[in-house]
Amino acid sequence: MTKMRAVDAIALILEKEGATEAFGLPGAAINPLYSAMKAHGGIRHTLARHVEGASHMADGYSRATGKIGLCLGTSGPAGTDMITGLYAAIADSIPMLCITGQAPTDKLHKEDFQAVDIESIAKPVTKYAVTILEPGLVPGTFAKAFQIMRSARPGPVLLDLPINVQMAEIEFDIDAYEPLKADKPAATRGQIDKVLDMLVAAERPMIIAGGGVINANASEQLVELAELLNIPVTPTLMGWGAIPDDHRLQSGMVGLQTHTRYGNVSFLASDFVLGLGNRWANRHTGGLDTYRKGRKFVHIDIEGTQIGRVFSPDLGIISDAAAAIDLLLEVARERKAAGSLPDYSAWADQCTERKSTLHRKTNFENIPIKPQRVYQEMNNFFGRDTTYVSTIGLSQIAGAQMLHVYGPRQWINAGQAGPLGWTGPAALGVARALPGKSVVALSGDYDFQFMIEELAVGAQFKLPYIHVVVNNSYLGLIRQSQRPFEMDFHVSLGFENINSPETNGYGVDHLKVAEGLGCKAVRVTDPSKLAEGFAQAQALMEEHQVPVVVEVILERITNISMGAELDAVNEFEDLAEAAEDAPSAVAPMGTKAGLPVGANV
């Protein structure tokens, strides 16, 4: 055993647990930990401009890698600034470790400067939150924290460190420290037999792949299972990329907002649904009577309290997605060898055929630009290996309807929480995680403005990515949701910018702001120039190794397809044109992406 400061032990523990990527801001109450990290040398730190931004960076890093990102901050407001980041992480089952400094233990009850009960504040949005009051508890508490983050449904933890606890000396031997095994329940053979009995009794079975499949790194096994059974797969928003968009068995996303037309139609034609690592979110299901009518459900999820939370399935199984899929593969292979698997080719072919016909128009020539054209051009320009980052708004909804994703962890999205401002800092975390890879963020103008200062982090630390900002100078999703109230109230962001008349009433000059923060920026006003704008941004990013903003000036008002029921999505008048009305515009995206002809109209 060696005597050392508690913070020096923490640095060694972080290294052994594989948590060596940190984002944060130093401050008086956390400086001891920073001194330990500096002395250790093996934990890389990225200085954020706002602690909430740091939390989203750590979140983005965690989502892109499956590892545990670190968010660090001092006492008081640093911890409260982390709460939105913790909420975004726990809502989507993302492991992330937040560490805060704290006032000395003998001052916690005396309303000391920046002393706040962050443990109590953070508990509702973490799997575990604690103020460590004794130095000797540091190693065991960190070991427990990592185990909790990784066990069952993953999620974030906050550990609060009084400054005297950080500075105290303890006896510690890193060679005697071992990470605790994560608890991951696994389905049994008997349970999987029941699942397959129900599946093979159906005529039109379907798999729903949720974020749990990606968390379990089970995407390859999922595709293998779908191919073995020859049945379609629909990914949830959080499971997008678990099966490539151009795979013949990828049947399209289902939902009220983030969905494809062919995905909803195929789902409503099914009679059996196997949910893997999903949570039946309300924007996926819509009205449960419509969603459940005429079909049986099996729900497999790592978290027992998820099963039956939204509705009671016909069969529920508590299991890690990878463990369940591996056993499903084993048993299904046995049944196929015995000739007892039905032939679902006709059903699978029907779902594949819908992908060639049920599309929305994207090939608009309008100026100002219609948003649908932006996603068409993004699909054409950015390659299959691109990782997209987005969070909320009409930009994200339309993107999820029209973009294409080809692999796990290539769609990074704060799905349940949807905090405005998340996209930019999360993209920086993703860029940090994926050096040399294509990272493209997608924001509306309001999401972009929320934490725009974090662009300076990308400039300072050379974290290159492309940020596509679709600017209609509106809170577009809120404006659309105000339609039933017959109002357009405090949702316009437009004004005459006295310093930038070229913004033509759209208000903020995003190019000047981005350039002032050390980045590069391009503005596109003509749809025929989108590809040129993306190419210019790519060249600038490669030359300067900084974030590059591509601002696309949109028409002020576009209503994006959505509705209250899966069978009653409002397509809106300007989107109702079918593929056959513009055959000459078909194919660029479909051809390049390997999707059926008809993917663009």
pLDDT of 52-73, one tens digit each?
999 999 999 999 999 999 999 9
Place of tokens 């909790």: 148
Q: Fold match between 189-352 and 371-565+575-593?
A: yes
The residue extents of the domains of the chain are: 2-176, 189-352, 371-565+575-593
Average pLDDT, the chain: 92
Strand pairing class (169-172; 2-5): antiparallel
- Average pLDDT, stretch 89-99? 97
* Cβ neighbours, 10 Å, residue 220: 12
The pLDDT value recorded for residue 484 is 84
**Among the listed ranges 114-118, 188-192, 266-270, 308-312, which one has the minimum average pLDDT value?**
114-118
pLDDT of 29-57, one tens digit each?
999 999 999 999 999 999 999 999 999 99
The pLDDT value recorded for residue 573 is 52
Question: In which band, very low, low, confident or very high, does the pLDDT at 137 lie, cut at 50, 70 and 90?
Answer: very high
- pTM, two decimals, is 0.92
List of residues 6+ apart from 388 with CB closer than 8 A: 399, 403, 405, 410, 411, 412, 440, 441, 442
Q: Show the 3-state SS of 433-491.
A: HCCCCCEEEEEEHHHHHHCHHHHHHHHHCCCCCEEEEEECCECHHHHHHCHHHCCCCCC
- Average pLDDT, stretch 145-169? 97
Q: Above pLDDT 70, what percent of the chain? A: 95
| Contact indicator for 325, 222 with CB cutoff of 8 Å | yes
Whether residue 571 is predicted with pLDDT greater than 90 in this model: the reply is: no
The pLDDT value recorded for residue 597 is 27
pLDDT of 580-598, one tens digit each?
332 222 222 222 333 332 3
The pLDDT value recorded for residue 359 is 86
CATH architecture of 2-176: 3-Layer(aba) Sandwich (3.40)
Q: Show the 3-state SS of 523-580.
A: EECCHHHHHHHHHHHHHHHHHHCCCEEEEEEECCCCCCCEECCCCCEECCHHHCCCHH
Which homologous superfamily is 189-352 in? Answer: TPP-binding domain (3.40.50.1220)
**Among the listed ranges 222-236, 514-528, 570-584, which one has the minimum average pLDDT value?**
570-584
pLDDT of 379-430, one tens digit each?
999 999 999 999 888 889 999 999 999 999 999 999 888 899 999 999 999 9
DSSP 392-449: SSHHHHHHHHH----STTSEEE-TTT--TT-HHHHHHHHHHHSTTS-EEEEEEHHHHH
pLDDT of 444-471, one tens digit each?
999 999 999 999 999 999 999 999 999 9
Alpha-carbon distance of 490 to 115, in angstroms, equals: 37
Specify the 3-state DSSP secondary structure of 186. Answer: coil
| Contact indicator for 101, 161 with CB cutoff of 8 Å | yes
List of residues 6+ apart from 285 with CB closer than 8 A: 291, 310, 566
Decide which of 3.40.30.10, 3.40.50.970, 3.40.50.10280, 3.40.50.720 is the CATH code for 371-565+575-593.
3.40.50.970
Going by the DSSP 8-state scheme, the letter that residue 498 receives in this structure is: T
The pLDDT value recorded for residue 471 is 92
Helices vs. strands in the chain: H and E counts, helices first: 25, 21
